[in-house]
Amino acid sequence: MADPIFDLINDELTRQREGIELIASENFTSANVLKAMGTCLTNKYAEGYPGKRYYGGCEVVDKIENIAIDRLKEIFGASYANVQPHSGAQANAAIFLACLEAGDKILGFDLSHGGHLSHGSPVNFSGKVYRPFFYGVEKETGLIDMDKVEAIAKKEQPKLIVCGASAYARDWDYARFRAIADSVGAILLADIAHPAGLIAGKHLNDPMPYCHIVSSTTHKTLRGPRGGIIMMGENFDNPWGRTTKKGTIIKMSSILNSGVFPGMQGGPLEHVIAAKAIAFQEVLDPSFKVYGQQVIDNAQAMAKAFVAKGYDLISGGTDNHLMLIDLRSKNVTGKATEQALVKADITVNKNMVPFDDKSPFVTSGIRVGTAAITTRGFKEADCIKTVDWIDQIVTNIDNEEVQLSVKKEINAYMHNFPLYE
């Protein structure tokens, strides 16, 4: 008898095919990326790094991992890359483990303003093991005030500064962050999990020349399998003068590699690393730059359409693939909106907005992203239509008839945008 899990996988495929996916951290990988993940590579243990493994039989996976590393370096112009982190949070954990001692101060973007858990939230390892301080956005503008970042850094003297977020719709001033980091002797980490694909396509500022270390996920705008990566533009000597027994200074590349394995993880997922390599090749194809531009054009078309309907966007718009919408002026919560939209097969996530007066379980906002719908083939007109549907649901928040009729329209509409056929 077939395992019912396969029926459930089919149910999920139907859900993905028939709905509009607006979760900013999601995307649809290519069929080849999916294919690589379902292969015999999952059977292989390969603790260590290519050429230096703790298991026999790694000749083939060594080649695959080296290809993944080379392609990733080429995309971002990096001199060092590690493709083993199982996820973005684990990439960050490995970096912190490599660079910090327990109790060291870190400075990151406030979670309630759009930051990520792994940048010092008290419920995460990063806020439990290290001493976190935060910068945020201004109430009036929704933007980060770099003078304030500098003032906090000067006051707190963190050992590591993180720039990057999960819900910030504007680009980052990496050069200024680096100047601040240098002024207090901190390591600067850019976590580009969200905009990585747009940075790869050169649509946004490049962190590589300015940030000591860059981490990312591979599954958001980069459109690969779920996973994490770590890179450096330039390899540098570790800033604490740590040496080998023979007195040689240890390079950051070795320290970071040790942070991932054996520091944070055991065996790498070579089937996922193969899928990362395939996704990286897709990113290197000129068509990916076209995709990235369309992601941004779609986000800007949506943002404009929301504003025209009286929605309050944090910072008033977007430079990237996402927007954060404060729904208080519409008298609905993020939670109620997320739930009502799901009934019409539109998926978003509820999200805290800066200076939110509601709990993270309720929230005053939603986060909306265009990476996944652009992969499905949406253009600006489809995005404007989507805003119309969202507005119908929000302005009739408890009306199940409206939800059902919008759902029917959407299910029919999505047949024009085939997925894994």
Q: Which amino acid is at 417?
A: F
| Residue 112 marked as a ligand binder | no
Report, in Å, the least distance between residue 82 CB and ligand PLP.
15
User: For helices 380-394 and 400-413, what crossing angle results, to 10°?
Assistant: 160
**Structure tokens belonging to residue 37:** 């993940």
Burial 88-123 (b: 16+ CB within 10 A, else e): bbbbbbbbbbbbbeeeebbbbbbbbbbbbbbbbbee
| Residue 203 marked as a ligand binder | no
Report, in Å, the least distance between residue 360 CB and ligand PLP.
14
Which residue number has the CB closest to ligand PLP?
88
Q: Which residues bind ligand PLP (CB under 6 A)?
A: 25, 87-89, 116, 118, 164-166, 191, 193-194, 217, 228
User: For helices 334-343 and 400-413, what crossing angle results, to 10°?
Assistant: 60
| Residue 315 marked as a ligand binder | no
Nearer to ligand PLP, 71 or 116 (CB): 116
Query: What is the C-alpha separation between 342 and 83, in angstroms, rounded?
Result: 34
| Residue 115 marked as a ligand binder | yes
Residue pair 153/176 in contact by the 8 Å Cβ criterion: no
Which of 163, 209, 215 lies closest to 186, judged by CA? Answer: 163
- 50 burial type by CB count under 10 A (0-12 exposed, 13-18 middle, 19+ buried): middle
Report, in Å, the least distance between residue 249 CB and ligand PLP.
30
Q: How many helices (H) and strands (E) in the chain?
A: 15, 15
Nearer to ligand PLP, 228 or 365 (CB): 228
Nearer to ligand PLP, 353 or 397 (CB): 353
Nearer to ligand PLP, 110 or 382 (CB): 110
Residue with tokens 């940030």: 211
| Residue 127 marked as a ligand binder | no
- 16 burial type by CB count under 10 A (0-12 exposed, 13-18 middle, 19+ buried): middle
Nearer to ligand PLP, 222 or 327 (CB): 222
Report, in Å, the least distance between residue 226 CB and ligand PLP.
6
Report, in Å, the least distance between residue 409 CB and ligand PLP.
30
Nearer to ligand PLP, 156 or 191 (CB): 191
> Active-site residue numbers?
45, 47, 191, 217, 220, 226
Helix (H) or strand (E) holding 72: helix 59-76
Q: How many other CB atoms are found less than 10 A from the CB of residue 420? A: 11
| Residue 361 marked as a ligand binder | yes
CA angle 58, 62, 67 (to 5 degrees): 160
Nearer to ligand PLP, 142 or 228 (CB): 228
Report, in Å, the least distance between residue 118 CB and ligand PLP.
5
- Strand 213-217 versus strand 228-232 pairing type: antiparallel
**Structure tokens belonging to residue 129:** 């093991």
Report, in Å, the least distance between residue 167 CB and ligand PLP.
8
Residue pair 372/21 in contact by the 8 Å Cβ criterion: yes
**Structure tokens belonging to residue 317:** 């718009």
| Residue 116 marked as a ligand binder | yes
Residues contributing to the annotated binding site: 111, 115-117, 359-361
Binding site, annotated residues for (6S)-5,6,7,8-tetrahydrofolate = 111, 115-117, 359-361
